[in-house]
Structure 1
Amino acid sequence: MQLGGAKDSQNCDSSNQKVHPQPMEEAANQNPEAVEALVSKIFTNISSLKSAYIRLQSAHTPYDPEKIQAADKLVISELKKLSELKHFYRENNPRPTYISPQDSRLAAEIQEQQSLLKTYEVMVKKFQSEIHNKDSEIVQLQQHIQEATQKRAKLEKNLKLRGLSSSSSKESEGESETFSTDLTPELFKSTVEIASKAIHDFSKPLINMMKAAGWDLDAAANSIEPDIVYAKRAHKKYAFEYHICQKMFSGFQQQHFGLKSENEANTNKDNFFQQYLALREMDPLDSVGQNPDSDFGKFCRSKYILVVHPKMEASFFGNLDHRNYIMGGGHPRTPFYLAFLKLAKAIWLLHRLAHAFDPEIKVFQVSKGSEFSEVYMESVVKNFVVDENSEKPKVGLMVMPGSGIGGSVVQCRVYLTGIKEVE
């Protein structure tokens, strides 16, 4: 009986050993290489997952859909690998009834990594939602661009048709004038005002950049035109407007504005007006972007080289890369060059319009020292009195040429010496 009891007791013990798996510590002792390899894979995978997540974040600034999709796939791949390691561990290591302190620490770290894994999964879903929203925004913007392009093409077509229809009607009536009724002295005068304002507007960023670069503006103004007596120090800004005017209007009376590559087909007066209509409603950057080597594109490059001196540009940008890019046939998208393009467009439109008239409109300039004439000149200083030491005010600088059209005069704008400004 005692033997039988002992035997039953042994069987019971044997049964208990089969039901309860060995502790993790004992399992590790049996195959430490396998456990160590598994843990190493887990930590390597976690490191790769973190790296993939960082790439996913970086792809959002700046926003790059292709990089985001690639990083998203990489994150998902690493998550799958980590999930596979988790299932592999659970299949080969059932939960023990007894957990040693070392196993507890490992279990806690696994729990922490699982929580981190869930966090990454939530973040990935968030990024995927953002990608979807961004893709939708891109599609909408593309639709807006397409609609705007169609509207612009329609507007340009209507402008051309207006000129051609007017031409056809006048020819049928036997009239010699072959242009749209829009080609009037009033249109030319308004275009002169726009060009004059463009010169003034571009002088502002030019002067501001010179100040930022540490230029002596007094010395610079004197180098442009010496021996000018200014009523106020602030009036020296007109020296820079004078410089811009002289460079931009150089070659104005020539049909091709002094460009080397002349296209004889564009000398027809109707073509001059059509070119005016085509560019008038366009952004100048769009124009040079579509055709960098057009006559207008060549005009912009040649005039920029004349207006902005190499020393001036080197002080602005620290090198001549900007200038070399333009001389190489490019049109940079820098704020400074964009400001210049607005000026170039205004002068180019005035030139196209002047040569569209029959006879073409001639511009006139007045030289330094000429006596002031209210018929042909307009003072940029509106309220002034003659200096007591001067007999008559005289021209110091011309900041916009004049012209004669339709029996009337468009006055040139001048800065006078021998005056005092009235506050």
Structure 2
Amino acid sequence: MLSQKSIRESFILQLVSASATLIVIFSVILYNYIKISIFEDITHELTKQAQIIATSRTSSIERMGINIFDPSLSSINNPNDVQVTIAIRVNQGNTPSFEHSEKDEQKFLTIYYPLEKREHYFISITKDISNTDILLNKILRNILSINLTAIFLILFYALFLSRMLVLPIRSLTNKLANMNENFLQMIETQKLPSEFQPLGSSINKLVERIQIFVNSQKELFIGAAHELKTPLAVMKTKNEVTLLKPRENEKYIDTIKSNNQTINDMNKMISNILEIGRQEGAQFEKPVEIDLIAFLKEQVNNYTILAKMEDKNLIEEIAPLSYKMMLQPTLLIHILQNFVQNAIKFTPKHGNITIQALLLKEGFVVHVIDEGIGIDESKDLFAPFKRYGNQTGAGLGLFLAKNAADAIGAKITLKNREDRQGTVATLLLPLRKRSL
């Protein structure tokens, strides 16, 4: 039984079915054309003989042994197995007609041609067409044999052609099957047929994203191990030094407080690592249509409260009235929260943090502008555990923001302000739906 999901089997079935149908139709037309042509020649011959006899003088007809005034049937035989007689047909009218008959496994064709001088009298010429029928049967058998051979050849060709067509797919499948996280190799699209080059390019983009993801995960694991190992080693050293000899209670309390602070920092780091796991789950969240302007205004209200708690001002500059887009809201919140939290962290007290939203030709853009110390643009700020400035933290916020942006097809950048000291964090969402 053919699999309904097999492209190759479906292609073979459709090609053979279509070809067989065309062959049968062509063969039927050819056979009927041959048959009609042969019988047209025979009927034309019989009609011509009947016309000659009908237009002959009575004496000439009598010399042939035919008495047109005698209703009794008489006949003559000629070398072409043709029998000529006189017939009376009352209901036929005054037009020629042909009739097929069969006797003793022989087939005959008879023409009844009217005589102008006698009403209801017809010249009857009967021709033996047994050999013609045998010839037509041979032609039919030969056509059927040719049809079966042609269908068999088409089936063989369909098998060969379908195998050739799926070879690129099999090649791609084998290359993908041999890949793993330690062996990721780009596909040479130039060696693929032109129809499969877009597929190869898409696979290469996917492989590139997997490579980035795997490298990021490796870097994350190595960085996490290093970041957790160092404070643990410091805590262990402090404890060992404290236990070397009896000390005052205040020394023990200082050591415990110091260790507690280190544990708190480690907990923050572990929370960020867990956040990465949640974010990866959010990437499989089903995109929904949201109004970005209403969404931003709602988030800005929350960020305003956070800024006021730090004695800082948050300024809103959102231009469009409405703009709808399909995306995962959870991932968008990850990006905005990171931008705003960094802006609040690095902006001095009573400073301003500006959130701008505008619609450009490239897409929908959100700027978060602070008045902080700025950044070193030569460094990879999106790598995990990379910190800048004199603020504490795990160094995973921008790494999380970059992963979220990649997941929703957005682009994020960090640049220093040109008008004064500070940083501009930018989120670009490519145009997908028209604004209202």
Instruction: State the TM-score, normalized to the length of structure 1.
Output: 0.30
Tell me: higher relative CO, structure 1 or 2? Use CA pairs within 8 A at least 6 residues apart.
1
Larger proportion of strand: 2
Instruction: State the TM-score, normalized to the length of structure 2.
Output: 0.29
Larger proportion of helix: 1
Larger radius of gyration between Structure 1 and Structure 2: 2
